[in-house]
Amino acid sequence: MDLLDQIYNAGVVGAGGAGFPTHVKLNCKVEYLILNGSECEPLIATDKYLMRTKAAEIIETLERIAGMIEAKKIVIGLKQKYTTEIDCLKSAIKELKSKIELHCLDNFYPAGDEQILVYEITGKTIPPAGIPLHVGAVVSNVGTVVNIHEALYGNPVISSYVSVLGEVSNPRILKVPIGTPILNCIEKAGGATLNDYSIILGGPMMGKILNKSELEHSVITKTNGAIIIVPDNHYLVNRDKISIEHIINRAKSACIQCSYCTEFCPRYLIGHPLQPHKIMRAIALSEYDDSIKAAQLCCECGVCELYACPMGLSPRQVNIYIKNELREKGYRYKNTGNEFYVREVRENRKIPTKRLMARVDVTKYSGQKLEELKEIFVSTVKIPLRQHIGKSATSLVNVGDIVEKGQLIGSVEKGELGANVHASINGKVVEVSECVVIQSENMEVEV
């Protein structure tokens, strides 16, 4: 069986983003294979943990992938400050006589944005609305490569590595079965230290904010790598509560057209025609000219609203609103230029992570030392049949079926954009809807 089939069978999807099916992404021939090890968002430590503890597996797997896609250069992009991880990777490279290179980056945000990383490593700007393939590159996340390594041995994706930190008693990294309730993860990290809390699923800049009642129905999927528990009145939680109507009204009344949002926008700085201040002006004046179409180029990194804007406005939310409107109308951004030039000021506009953390009020969690891995076992999992971009998997099980850990319970055809789904625990299927709920006969156990 070839590697692409093994990846497809195992249901591997991008572990760090929206969950693009990996067997589709790697069905290409490119010059560069890039491992994104720069853990873009502040506080998250999952990829660092994997690079420290699974360096040899990562190097070996990257070599296998590069062989398949005929990549001539294999580069791991990570931050210069990750000295332990750099040492681990260097020893694995030496031991395995690999030619993989490390590209060390400063500690800035968003170093791990795929387009920024590709520019940093190759010196090429991906065209607006394009993907790394357009400049001969493919980018994989660390968790994805670890899952591909498992796939080489016939092991499907049935667990996620998750950093749990913030307002918990024992911040730590957990390995949890897919479909585990998030509340169980919080409990396994010693429980929340506050009564009134919300969580950020993902990083502080781009993560999804969930309040306690939303949490009751939320589970870990293949794309989750971090849970940050914050007070219910945290700055980021309060911002998340503002309605889009209010955001647009504030854009109309308070935007001073200083253009800082544009001057710091990472996509603008690599040469894309995205100028959020013009979009804010267009929405304020209700003049929907061509400038608003560039909202589709926004990667939602949050720099404009959480770092740049002196008025506390939300260009990112405005862009999301416009993107949704344009999508509903069936409009897709069309790239009209051929070459894109990085703005000269870019180097001086990189945002230091330390300063960013202070702006979004998470500095107090940056000193937390995450305890090493704890693998947890749970008695019930709720496994979504769609944890990825594309088509939902079709359930292969019925209520009452007994399933084994690793068994295929949802499938997609190989040529389709989607991913297979597997049982993450042994047990009985008690519900089949958009999710498959499996209940173990045993009580919850842990090691």
Residues in touch with ligand SF4 (CB under 6 A):
255-261, 265-267, 274, 276-277, 280, 298-304, 308-309, 311, 313, 315-316, 319
- Run of H or E including 315: helix 315-328
Residue 160 CB, nearest distance to ligand SF4 (Å)?
26
Contact yes or no for 426/407 (Cβ under 8 A): no
Report the distance separating Cα 195 and Cα 181, nearest Å. 18
Residue 117 CB, nearest distance to ligand SF4 (Å)?
15
Q: What is the CA radius of gyration of the chain?
A: 22
Question: Cβ closer to ligand SF4: 149 or 277?
Answer: 277
Structure tokens of 250? Answer: 């504030």
Report the distance separating Cα 203 and Cα 289, nearest Å. 33
Residue 443 CB, nearest distance to ligand SF4 (Å)?
46
Smallest Cα–Cα separation from 147: which of 121, 178, 183? 178
The length of the chain is: 447
Contacts of 446 (CB under 8 A, 6+ apart): 188, 374, 375, 376, 377
Smallest Cα–Cα separation from 280: which of 303, 249, 307, 302? 249
Residue 110 CB, nearest distance to ligand SF4 (Å)?
8
Question: Cβ closer to ligand SF4: 92 or 301?
Answer: 301
**Is the omega angle on the peptide bond into residue 181 within 30 degrees of 0, that is, cis?**
no
Question: Cβ closer to ligand SF4: 274 or 282?
Answer: 274
**Span between the terminal Cα atoms of the chain, in Å:** 34
Q: What is the DSSP letter of 70?
A: T
Contact yes or no for 279/265 (Cβ under 8 A): no
Angle, helices 55-69 vs 142-152, to 10°: value is: 80
Smallest Cα–Cα separation from 189: which of 211, 204, 203, 174? 174
Angle, helices 276-285 vs 244-254, to 10°: value is: 90
Contacts of 350 (CB under 8 A, 6+ apart): 106, 108, 109
Residue 142 CB, nearest distance to ligand SF4 (Å)?
23
Give me the DSSP letters along 241-271: TS-HHHHHHHHHHH-----HHHHH-HHHHTT
Residue 315 CB, nearest distance to ligand SF4 (Å)?
5
Residue 60 CB, nearest distance to ligand SF4 (Å)?
35
Contacts of 358 (CB under 8 A, 6+ apart): none
Question: Cβ closer to ligand SF4: 261 or 432?
Answer: 261
Q: What is the DSSP letter of 350?
A: P
Q: 421 has which bridge partners?
A: 410
Report the distance separating Cα 165 and Cα 432, nearest Å. 32
